[in-house]
Homo-oligomer: A and B are copies of this chain.
Amino acid sequence: MGGSSEQKSNQREATAIERTLEAVGDRWSILLVRAGLRGIRRFDDFCADLGIARPVLTDRLRRLVRLGIMERTPYQEKPVRYEYRLTEAGLALSPALVALVRWSEEYGAGGISDSRLVHSTCGTELEQAFWCRRCQTTFGPQAVKGVGRGVDAGPQADVHKDVPAGGSAK
């Protein structure tokens, strides 16, 4: 096309985020994971709690199971009944969920937040940061570099200002 000589990363190989979103990037999957974190496990409960249509729920649960995010196991034998619970991979999505909640708390439309995330041992509102094992410091998104081509907070990721970024830790 045009004179462009640059080759953007096109669809051939999905990037990390694309792959993640393929798994949980639809309107419901993340909500299902969240429900799972809240302890919901049974079909009808997911259905009632989220207001998701049954056929869609069936499909999503199956996909999450296939992707190893949830597990379907019988919780009683009499009439065999199955429940869905998060696997380790599913639980590992919680940082992402928390990040989304935090965002909504800060920038969400309306501004009113019905829930605040706090550090359970002291009740202080938490901040999110990255942790470098080697340097033993926390730092913000602007010090993250993508090696390869998933995310490189390149050209314009500099406007930040409210991230802990090295709160103390050094």
Q: Which of A54-62, A74-82, A112-120 faces chain B?
A: A112-120
How near does chain B come to A95, taking the closest CB pair, in angstroms?
Answer: 4
Copies of this protein, total: 2
Distance of A111 Cα from B47 Cα, bound (Å): 32
Contact B127 A128 (CB under 8 A): no
Distance of A150 Cα from B170 Cα, bound (Å): 32
Q: Which residues of B contact A155 (CB under 8 A)?
A: 38-39
Please report A residues at the B interface, Cβ cutoff 8 Å: 1, 8-11, 13, 15-21, 23, 25-27, 30-31, 34, 36-39, 45, 48-49, 51, 67-68, 85-86, 88-89, 91-110, 113-124, 126-136, 138-139, 141, 143-157, 159-164, 167-170
